[in-house]
Amino acid sequence: MSGKLISRILFVLSVLVGAFLLFILEPLTGKLLTPGFGGTSGVWSTCLMFFQIALLGGYLIAYAISSLPSSKQSLIWGALVAVSVISAGLPDRSVFVCHDFQNPSPELLGLLLVHTGLPFVVLSSISVMLQSWYRKAGHGDPYPLYSVSNLGSVLALFAFPFLIERHLTVSMTCQIWTWIYYLLAILLLYLSSVIFRSEESTAEPEEKEAPVSAPLIAWWCGLSALGSATLVSFTTHITQDVSPVPLLWIMPLGVYLLSFIILFSRPGAYRRIPFAYLFAFLAIAEPFISRQFFVEDFIIPVTTTLALLFVTCMILHGEIIMSRPAPRRLPLFYLSIATGGALGGIFVNFVAPAIFSMYWESNFLLAASA
């Protein structure tokens, strides 16, 4: 096995494991804090806000250091990984105890910051950093690694409720997660050292490119925001209006991530005209099918709704992938996508309830997507 092939495998493995640990950390943290803080909507909103900010923090760090020489990138990011190991050991549930139930947010944010903040930020930055280094190492197009990242997210999404929760205690899960993080950190430090030792002259030559325009950044943010908002609104629609089946919320998120997996591994899978016709058909048929089969069989309306969500995500994310920049601009590209995703979540959770007296955001978002 050649050294270049081994290097590629290590890059892919790091991205896959990093995304898996990232998606496990959120529900695992929820399990840790529920006994001490309760499961109120305020607690979950605080957690969601924290993880969204931490996610953006990871992308922002990757973007900030991406313009530096490779040796400095590896030193700064390697140091961040090394420091994160100190706080990577997830604590026992007894640590997450609320002392002020009237205003638990400050205490909760402090605990999340101390015990999960830095590891979460590092995990969030892995995909972008390693894609940038993958290109510098001469391994070719780095964008398919984003498919690998989303694959890791999907694996974690289904593994946690169906395998981990059923067969492992929370304490055992924390220990296993911590040890896997330690192993991943070693692998990341090794890749950092490889980039540090590599000569800048060995990297592929950089072509002069015009700066990414503000309208293009706004385009990425807008499409990503629509996708994120559509995901949240469809999840609410399915779990509240179509069928309140436990764990059904996993399916919309899985469909959302699947569109990224397909498009970043095979950009040609998206064709505007066929998907436009399919979107129009499903947008008209879904409300009728949901009403017609609501009482008789929930599988049919759920499947139709998921199909509409999938086609919508394929269109939105397909337009994103069609306008993707050259690989050297990918940190800004992913930062724009992450920012748009956060804005979409803010719209559905905070803006839409203030605008619409009834649950109209799904219809509004479908119209906007069209």
DSSP string, 193-224: HHHHHS-GGGSPPPPP-PPPPHHHHHHHHHHH
pLDDT at 121: 94
How many domains does the chain divide into? 2
User: In sequence order, which residues have a C-beta less than 8 Å from that of residue 152 and are 6 or more positions away?
Assistant: 15, 16, 17, 18, 19, 20, 22, 23
Of 143, 167, 202, the residue at which a domain comes to its end is 202
Tell me, yes or no, whether 196 and 298 share the same domain.
Answer: no
Examine the domain organization and report whether 130 and 230 are in the same domain: no
User: Is residue 13 domain-shared with residue 143, that is, in the same domain?
Assistant: yes
Is residue 235 domain-shared with residue 288, that is, in the same domain?
yes
> In this structure, is residue 271 part of a structural domain?
yes
- Output the pLDDT for position 352: 64
End-to-end CA distance of the chain: 49
In whole angstroms, what is the distance from residue 192 CA to residue 187 CA?
9
Domain containing residue 280: 214-369
Please say whether the beta carbons of 17 and 152 come within 8 A. yes
* Contact by Cβ (8 Å): 225, 341: yes
Burial of 194 (0-12, 13-18, 19+ CB in 10 A): middle
Angle at 229 between CA 227 and CA 235, to 5 degrees: 100
Q: Report the sign of the C-alpha dihedral through residues 112, 345, 264, 77, in that order.
A: negative
- What is the structure's pLDDT at 271? 93
Tell me the two tokens of residue 274: 């066929």
**Is 208 contained in some domain?**
no
Tell me: do 220 and 192 sit in the same domain: no
**How buried is residue 267: exposed, middle or buried, by Cβ count under 10 Å (0-12/13-18/19+)?**
middle
Cβ neighbours, 10 Å, residue 120: 25
Tell me the torsion sign for CA atoms 22, 36, 91, 56: positive
Please give the structure tokens belonging to residue 40: 């109120």
Say whether both 51 and 124 belong to one domain. Answer: yes
Both tokens of 97, joined, read: 């105890």
Determine if the pTM surpasses 0.95: no
Instruction: Tell me: do 195 and 231 sit in the same domain.
Output: no
Give me the pLDDT at residue 356, please: 56
Q: What per-residue confidence (pLDDT) applies to 309? A: 92
Q: Please indicate, yes or no, whether residues 253 and 188 belong to a single structural domain of this protein.
A: no
Q: Which residue has the tokens 């140091």?
A: 79
Six-digit token pair at 145?
């690694």
Residues 24 and 139 in one domain: yes
Does 226 reside within a domain? yes
Angle between helices 41-65 and 70-86 (to 10 degrees): 150
Q: Is residue 209 part of a domain?
A: no
- Single out the residue in 180, 202, 224 at which a domain terminates: 202
Cα angle 253, 54, 140 (rounded to 5 degrees) comes to 70
Q: Which of 146, 172, 202 is the last residue of a domain?
A: 202
Instruction: In whole angstroms, give the CA distance from residue 315 to residue 321.
Output: 10
Residue 37: per-residue pLDDT: 74
Of the candidates 46, 33, 30, 37, the one whose C-alpha atom is nearest the C-alpha of residue 100 is 37
Q: Do 98 and 236 fall into the same domain?
A: no
Residue type, 327: P
Q: What is the CATH number of the domain that holds 120?
A: 1.20.1250.20
For 171-189, what is each residue's pLDDT tens digit? 999 999 999 999 999 999 9
Task: State the 10-residue block means of pLDDT for the chain, 370 residues long.
Answer: 83 97 90 75 70 89 91 93 88 73 76 88 95 87 93 94 91 93 96 79 52 92 91 78 66 92 93 92 83 67 89 95 90 93 78 58 52
pLDDT, tens digit, 9 for 90 and up, residues 321-330: 999 998 888 9
Q: Are residues 140 and 222 located together in one domain of the fold?
A: no
**Hey, what amino acid is at 43?**
V
Q: Are residues 69 and 111 both part of a single domain?
A: yes
Phi, psi torsion values for 368, nearest 5 degrees = -65, -40
